[in-house]
A = this chain, B = another copy of it.
Amino acid sequence: MLPSSARPGLSAYLKDKLGDDAVAALVVSVLLIPQSLAYALLAGLPAQVGLYASLLPLLAYALLGSSPYLNVGPVAVLALMIMQSLALAPAGVSPSEAALVLAAEVGLLLAAAALLRLDALAALLSVPVLQGFEAGATLAIAASQLPALLGSPAQGGTLGALWRSADATGWRLDAPSAALGLGAIAALLLSRRALGPLLQRWMGAARAALLVRLAPLAVLLTALLIVWALRPPSLALIGALPPLQLSLTLPRLDAGVWQALLPGAAMIALMAYVSSLTVAESLARRHGQRVQPRRELMGLAGANLAAALSGGMPVAASFSRSVLVSDAGSRSRFTGVLVALLMGLALLTLAPVLAWLPRAVLAATIVVAVLSGLSARPFVLAWRYDRAEALLMATVALLVLLEGISLALGLGVLGSIALLLQRTARPHVALIGRVPGTEHYRNVDRHRVELDPQVLGLRIDESLLFTNVRSLADVVQAHLDQHPQARRVLLQMSPVNGIDVSGLEALHELQDALARQERRLDLSEVKGPVLDRLRAGGFERWFRGRIYLSHHQGMHDAG
């Protein structure tokens, strides 16, 4: 990691790590050039926006982020979200302008989250929501590429929008585009399925894998040659890219535009953070390292603000490219700086060549790339383990495909929370008795223990939080109904790690309810930090019971 660990000596870095980082940068750039063009087109933006989003954002992440493996830049899923969000921009604002506003909002939201230490918000997206989203988005992306693949002028990010657009344009197709597009898909699939095993007969597995990875590049070059030789008049090409212009400009400051794009920006920021964090964690685990979520938030915030200031679009870490960076042996975040340099070089030198790239072939690479990750396995596994969560997953996937991402993620988050509330609404409270001859107390249902008819000993097995305390008094009353002789209720609080305001209120209400039945509420083994908080909050002004250091002591107190 250059900014911190390499300070002892730049020469040490140059000797030790530069070589490895340069190889990783070269390998990933070969993949990044076509992907950045393709994802910009997928988002409904000019192709060069993708290249700009692969320059300064990488420098910003290298400066502020923490992972030496993440490759930040245009991502397919984000491109789909950007397309859907741009549809909500007010009339008269060009998509490129709106994309800058969107990137600025994403960057500011992530920076605010870093400042407010909201890194825990990543938990909002549970595994069923994430997996359902991924499956739905994969299918939606593949569907959105069909028009480009077949040379149709239709556009849309959901199945309904695509159908209407295709209907409005009379289902027009272009034969040369379709031939090139479908041919490219066939070539890409063949290279994945057949080329690898074939090559392994002649060379080692490592070399074969490297050559297979270069297959998409070979397909693109072949397509370039065909187009250059035949020049079919109707074929849609990338077209001339404007010359490299790295001038920093502020995104348009218009309250109406910013407001219209804010909900989409919030969803994009959440998804960019969670997906990048997931990639970072997964790669860190492979190397036995740990991730600092706040540093990731800061790195992503910087990358998106850089994109907003330099003609890009919202960015995040790409899983496939980051794995490539990790596998190719990257040693530090300086890899990102090298990738940015290579991308700048590509913009300067390759622009005349890239202009000849047929859009149908780019679409083919997207379709093959995203569909290779599609699997029904997560659904099957979830269905076996938990029907309700599997239904949530399928609902999110369908909503992404049919209704759009914001609604799907919004309802997915609400669904996760509803399931959580349904499962945790009653705090787990165990009736405990004394293990004969000892001072230990254990669950009556699982051990042979002695009960005291005068004192009801209960163990609160969870923190007392608003999700579960509503029924605390009811759970205790249910135990009392079984043991009506009890004059005191002694709650063993050792498993309680926290009590929020709702929990405090529930304890107060429980004490009052017991007082009306002429029973006293006592506590035992309250954890130190919990007790400190209670005392600071004026707990002892209303609490009329006693607090015992040990449960045994509390059970035998005559007072």
Chain A residues near B (Cβ < 8 Å): 117-124, 126-128, 281-282, 285-286, 288, 290-291, 381-382, 384-386, 389-390, 393, 416-425, 428, 461-463, 465-468, 470, 473-474, 477-478, 481, 495, 497-498, 500-502, 504-505, 509, 512-513, 516-517, 533, 536-538
Chain B residues contacting A516 (CB-CB under 8 Å) are 285-286, 288
- Cα–Cα distance between A286 and B281 once the two chains are bound (Å): 52
The residues of B that contact A537 with a CB separation of less than 8 Å are 381, 384-386
Taking a contact as CB atoms closer than 8 A, the residue among B128, B417, B473 that contacts A281 in the complex is B473
Given known A-B contacts A466-B420, A536-B384, A461 and B502 have beta carbons under 8 A apart: no
Q: Provide the bound-state CA to CA distance between A478 and B292, in Å.
A: 12
* Cβ contact of A423, chosen from B468, B470, B498, cutoff 8 A: B498
Given A381-B537, A513-B285, A538-B381, A291:B421 Cβ within 8 A? no
Q: Which residues of B contact A117 (CB under 8 A)?
A: 422
Q: What CA separation (Å) do A119 and B500 show in the bound complex? A: 22
Give the distance in Å from the alpha carbon of A497 to the alpha carbon of B461 in the complex.
9
If A502-B128, A537-B381 touch, whether A424 touches B474 (CB-CB below 8 Å) is no
Number of copies: 2
Are the CB atoms of A465 and B285 closer together than 8 Å?
no
| CB-defined contacts of A417 to chain B, threshold 8 Å | 124, 417
Measured CB to CB, the nearest residue on chain B to A513 is B285
B121–A418 CB distance below 8 A = yes
Q: Are B118 and A424 in contact (CB under 8 A)?
A: no
Best-buried of A385, A501, A516 by chain B (most CB within 10 Å): A501
Give 6 closest A-B pairs by Cβ, nearest first.
A385-B537, A126-B466, A120-B425, A127-B502, A285-B513, A389-B501
A420 CA / B468 CA spacing, docked (Å) = 12
Q: How far, in angstroms, from A468 to B124 measured CA to CA in the complex?
A: 10
- Which residue of chain B has the shortest Cβ distance to A419 in the bound complex? B500
Q: A123's contact among B126, B421, B462, B463, by CB below 8 Å, is which?
A: B421
Query: In the complex the two chains form, is A477's CB within 8 Å of B290's CB?
Result: yes
Instruction: Assess the B290–A502 pair: CB atoms within 8 A.
Output: no
A421 and B124 form a contact (CB under 8 A) = yes
Q: Which of A123, A393, A505, A513 has the most CB of B within 10 A?
A: A123
Looking at the assembled complex, report how far the CB atom of A89 sits from the nearest CB atom of chain B, in whole angstroms: 24
**In the assembled complex, how far is the CB of residue A385 from the closest CB belonging to chain B, in whole angstroms?**
3
- CB contacts (< 8 Å) of A461 on chain B: these are 495, 497
Residue contacts A-B, CB under 8 angstroms, 17 given: A117-B422, A118-B422, A119-B425, A123-B425, A123-B470, A126-B502, A127-B501, A128-B502, A285-B513, A288-B516, A291-B474, A381-B537, A384-B536, A385-B501, A385-B537, A424-B498, A462-B463
